[in-house]
Structures are given as structure tokens and as C-alpha cells.
């Protein structure tokens, strides 16, 4: 790992923001069971940290959706590699995303999930990049940070499957070798 990484959001800032999001979600869903739907792989760290701070009955399920491959730009082709194990009909669903970029992936996933008739459906994203948005029909209900149009890694987000384990969000600045 010879790449240079500039810290954008520190581990401390992430923890504080996840606590704030959890507090709001706890208030909004008080007395309800919530189905957290984690979008793999990038959303797993955020989902786990958020779940630990929720004072609710929760269920967790996973979807694996690809649109980036090993590059830094979305391919525009959305593929559901793994769908939910449990039905969500009649459930209160909170889709947990690591980042909303173009909006293509989220739009496709939202349409897919709403077709299963949940009791309610909301979206929680750690990072939102509105400058990259090309599809606007899936806006987040809970947003951690609005960030500029930079390729970010860490806290679950990767570049070619590397850097997911960084405890912060960083901007990748590839070295010139």
C-alpha cells in the first residue's frame, strides 16, 4: 500500500455521527422492529456500528450489489449478486448504504425493495455525494456526511478491495510509481 491517503473524516467524527444518526432512528422507530438492510460490502462497517447504537428490536439482512468493479468510476451497470434471505413484506425497512453517488444503484434497489411491499421504507447513508447524482428518485432520509466529488476509501469503502479496514474516511491519492 504505497498510496497516499488524505483523511477526510476522522474515526472520532464517524463515531459521533453514527451516534447522532442512531439517536434519530431510535426516536423515529420507537416501539417498532426495524429490518436493517445492509448493502454489501461497503456498508457492513457502518451497519454494524449503527446497529450497536440502536435501542430497538432489529433484524439484519444483506444485499450485494455491484456497479463499480475494481475501478473508481461506476460502470452504470447495476447487478444484484445477493438478494435478501428474509421477506420484507409488512416490515419497517431501513436500507443502510455506505455512499450515494450517481443514485443509479440506490434507485434500482429501492424499486426492487418497494415491490416487496414493506410497511415503511427509509434510506440511511453514511456519505452523500450530490454533485455526482444523475438519478434523483431515491433520496436518503438519514445522511451522515455530504461530501465533495472525491473518491473515498476506508470505514468499509474500498479501492479494488483494499482499504476497507481503515478506521476513517480518506481520499485516495495514488502514488506515482
- Catalytic annotation present for 101: yes
CA distance 176 to 119: 51
Strand partners, 7: 170
* Residue 19 CB partners (closer than 8 Å, separation 6+): 53
CA distance 170 to 12: 13
Catalytic residue among 101, 137, 141, 149: 101
| Residue pair 169/127 in contact by the 8 Å Cβ criterion | yes
Residues designated as active site: 101
Amino acid at each position: 500500500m504505497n498510496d497516499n491517503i488524505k483523511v477526510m473524516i476522522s474515526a472520532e467524527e464517524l463515531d459521533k455521527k453514527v451516534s447522532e444518526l442512531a439517536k434519530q432512528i431510535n426516536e423515529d422507530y420507537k416501539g417498532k422492529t426495524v429490518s436493517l438492510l445492509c448493502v454489501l460490502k461497503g456498508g457492513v462497517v457502518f451497519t454494524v456500528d449503527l446497529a450497536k447504537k440502536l435501542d430497538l428490536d432489529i433484524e439484519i439482512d444483506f444485499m450485494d450489489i455491484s456497479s463499480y468493479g475494481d475501478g473508481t468510476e461506476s460502470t452504470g451497470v447495476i447487478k444484484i449478486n445477493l438478494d435478501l434471505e428474509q421477506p420484507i413484506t409488512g416490515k419497517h425497512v431501513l436500507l443502510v448504504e455506505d455512499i450515494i453517488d450517481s443514485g443509479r444503484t440506490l434507485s434500482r434497489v429501492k424499486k426492487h425493495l418497494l415491490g416487496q411491499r414493506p410497511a415503511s421504507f427509509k434510506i440511511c447513508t453514511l456519505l452523500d455525494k450530490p454533485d455526482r447524482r444523475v438519478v434523483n428518485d431515491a433520496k436518503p432520509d438519514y445522511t451522515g456526511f455530504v461530501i465533495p466529488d472525491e473518491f473515498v476509501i476506508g470505514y468499509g469503502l474500498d479501492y479494488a478491495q483494499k482499504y476497507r479496514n481503515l478506521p476513517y474516511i480518506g481520499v485516495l491519492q495514488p502514488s506515482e510509481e
